[in-house]
Structures are given as structure tokens and as C-alpha cells.
Amino acid sequence: MVRYQFTDETEVSNAPMSMSLLAKLQRDILTGKYRPGQKLTEQNLCKEYGVSRTPIREALRQLETDGLVENILNRGSFVIGLSRQDFEDMFELRKAYEIQAVRWAIERITEEEMDRLEETFEFMEFYTMRGDLDKMLVINAGFHQVIYEASHNRMLQKTLTQYQTFLKYRSMDEEYGANYLTTVLEEHRAIFKAFIDKDVKAGAEAMERHINRAKERRCG
């Protein structure tokens, strides 16, 4: 069986400098360290993150593509961030894409990917039993990543990975109820069962329920 390596997306120490910097800037914008309307100067960012101007410029260009920053000619870069409405809209878009991803993944998943999905779900069961919330949050993201890859659609995978990253920061201050772990496990169990049964309709329905409930938990 293929061993699935779980990593926290915020752990970027081994990433190339530009990717590590981008992840840190995304986090700092989405968690409110840099507020909407605030100007981001290259000099201050170089000092803050201990890098040269070149990776800062690359990161700012990508942040503009992501819609988090606006680069205004002769004025500089300004934070846009994401509003509550942006997050709610993103959840609706994510739901549509997640449903399509699970449909394609059930149809296209390879034996190796199915092994990874099974192992990921077994880890979810293990850490739910242990009550380890931090590990569960990481593995939850990993479960969805396997589905994205198994859809065998690169654009869909890229879009959903970005949504997953952005929405993660929306829930950083979320308070998790006593039944959170078991509830989320059962939602993923329904998705996993659809893969075992090769039931596209059941998978789409299970994913839709899961994303709807995730939105209720995060957006209220």
C-alpha cells in the first residue's frame, strides 16, 4: 500500500523561497495581520520576511492574481483581502467544484489513489478516536486533496486547492463543538463509501451535504 504523507499546508519551511513567502503573505492577509486598504511596501516586506525584493515582487504579482492585493501603477500594492460575502460565495463555488471533483474521481480513480484514500480515511478514524483535532484538520484536507488528484483535472485541482487554502484561514478562530470530530468523520465516511461502491450519485450527494454543513459550521 502506498504511504500517504500528511503535511500541514502552513508548514512551508521546505518550499522554495517564493512559495514559502507567498504562503506566509496569504496567511497574514487572510488572518487580518494586513488589513484591507493597507499599503504593502517592498522595503517593509523585505524586512518583515527577511527576503530580497525579487521574491517580494513575485509574491505581490501572484497575490494580485489571487485577488488579495491590488497593484496600482505609481502608487504601490494595497490589500484587498476577502470579505464575509467573499467567503460565503467561495463556499458556494467550492461546493459546485467539489461535487464535480468527486464525480470524476469516482469514475477515474486509480488503484494507487484508492489505496491513498482508504489509508487517509483510516487515519481520520484513528485520530477521531484519539480526539486529536489538529491532526484531524490536516488529514481532512488531505482526504480532499486525494479526491482532487483522482479527478485527473489539473485546473479543477488547482482551483479547489486554492479555495481550500483560503477557507482554512476563515476557520482559524472557529470554535469546535464536542461532536465535531465524529460528525465530520461520518460525513467523510459517506463520501468514502461512495468510492467503494463506485456510486457517483451517492458521492455527489454526500459531498454536497458535507460542504453545506462545513459552510454552516464556518460561516454561521
Give the pLDDT of residue 2: 39
CB atoms within 10 A of CB 85: 8
CB distance 117 to 150 below 8 Å: yes
- Residue 3 in any domain: the answer is no
The answer to whether residues 75 and 90 belong to one domain is no
Alpha carbon distance 4, 7 (integer Å): 10
pLDDT of residue 59: 93
Mark whether 123 and 196 lie in a shared domain.
Answer: yes
Q: Of the spans 6-10, 66-70, 204-208, which averages the highest pLDDT?
A: 204-208
DSSP 119-163: HHHHHHHHHHHHT-HHHHHHHHHHHHHHHHHHTT-HHHHHHHHHH
Beta strands at 39-40 and 69-72: parallel, antiparallel or unpaired? unpaired
Same domain, 176 and 193: yes
Residue 7 in any domain: the answer is no
Chosen domain end from 61, 79, 97: 79
Q: 67 with 198: CB under 8 angstroms?
A: no
In angstroms, how far is CA 185 from the centroid of its own chain? 18
Give yes or no: residues 69 and 141 share one domain: no
Tell me what pLDDT residue 13 has.
Answer: 42
Taking all residues of the chain, what is their mean pLDDT, rounded to a whole number?
Answer: 87
Containing structural domain, residue 31: 17-79
What confidence tens digit (pLDDT) does each residue in 68-90 have? Answer: 999 998 899 999 988 888 888 88
Tens-place pLDDT, residues 126-158: 999 999 998 998 999 999 999 999 999 999 999
Q: Are residues 99 and 61 in the same domain?
A: no
What is the tens place of the pLDDT at every residue in 94-116?
A: 999 999 999 999 999 999 999 99
**Same-domain pairing of 95 and 123:** yes
pLDDT score for 168: 79
Question: Is 11 part of a structural domain of the chain?
Answer: no
Residue 206 has pLDDT above 70, yes or no: yes
For 70, phi then psi, to 5°, come to -115, 120
Domain for residue 25, yes or no? yes
| Domain shared by 129 and 183, yes or no | yes
Annotate 58-116 with DSSP letters as a single string: HHHHHHHHHTSEEEETTTEEEE----HHHHHHHHHHHHHHHHHHHHHHHHH--HHHHHH
The answer on 44 and 149 residing in a single domain is no
**Residues 158, 92 within the same domain:** yes
Whether residue 93 sits in one domain with residue 39: no
Q: What is the pLDDT of residue 66?
A: 87
Query: Where residue 170 sits, what CATH number does that domain have?
Result: 1.20.120.530
Is 160 part of any domain? yes
Examine residue 191 and state whether it is found in any structural domain, yes or no: yes
Q: Is residue 196 part of a domain?
A: yes
Other C-beta atoms lying within 10 Å of the C-beta of residue 90? 18
Asked if the model's pLDDT at residue 14 lies above 50, the reply is no
CATH of the domain at 44: 1.10.10.10
Q: What's the mean pLDDT in 14-38?
A: 81
- Assign 171 a pLDDT band (cuts: 50, 70, 90): low
Domain end position, chosen among 49, 79, 109: 79
Task: Indicate the SS3 state at residue 39.
Answer: strand
Domains identified in the chain, total number? 2
Q: Are residues 23 and 88 in the same domain?
A: no
Specify whether 143 is located in the same domain as 201: yes
